[in-house]
Structure 1
């Protein structure tokens, strides 16, 4: 069994490679960008599974998935992501992805999911795929844009503006602008109050 892990997050990539590489009968390949992943797909022996990070450099979201799926006459490709929505996961599966793996899964579950997909099965965690979207969970969410909801989720998790900016691939000034809009829409004055409103509304 051959598996290619493509992710620009060094720790996650190295953890998966170490876990899977320790298993009997599994050969591992790794890449830190979509371009590097494509080069390996073209030049290496065929992989049983190619696992692509949804947000890594060069990926361009589902465009990268479509490209990878069509390379070398087609192979099994799955997405891994720390922030993609259920809608993205559903679209990926509709396009023919072998599965969708949230980075919130414990390491052992991640490894099991990869093995499962590499053996020819489809994978997507039931709790993630059946959880209600924030827009459906509470009327308050309907007043916020998806980006504002993402910022609010980061805020509710206790992340700093810098951490939220990094997670969403935005600048800190942009996050601050979203914060101001959030405070106005939620009728609050600070981060703590915003987090309390989000929690009470059951958004996260």
Structure 2
């Protein structure tokens, strides 16, 4: 029975082939271009295009969700940067030692309590400097957290195929903005001739 042999096998056992594909894809995304044989370039090109498309669409979906609540692009970027610092609510208060004990947390000293209260105050002021109306600020912050969840889903989908945090970070922070609005076609190939020894055709595959 001829099972699990469809597609380009790269003439390797399956575990080694999977590792080689991931290494080639990571190298292409990290350095924008790699030189390899035609068969290996063909084996990774389609998958790289799909992963970049996932990052582009994930980022755009996250931005669209936030834009429904915060139409000002500059404010949307500021509120998202604020949300990335950690979970926060304008209703947040420092719990009393009795409440902390009920939550199995250690009691706070006066100094520790003042530190946390000042931290909450500073974050509150930072948020209200972006959006002065408290009600609108709450809605904007929740939308920002939800947009982060949308983007996180896309990140996890890519990580399942290419488990490299630095590469995925570049895809969302650099490649997704670069290819926003581009309907595919993120790579190009250029023939470089044949390799000495086995005469295998070598090409350069690069991100456009």
Rg larger in 1 or in 2? 2
More helix by share: 2
Question: Which has the bigger relative contact order, CA under 8 A and spacing at least 6?
Answer: 2
Is TM more than 0.5 here? Answer: no
TM-score norm. by structure 2 comes to 0.24
TM-score norm. by structure 1 comes to 0.24
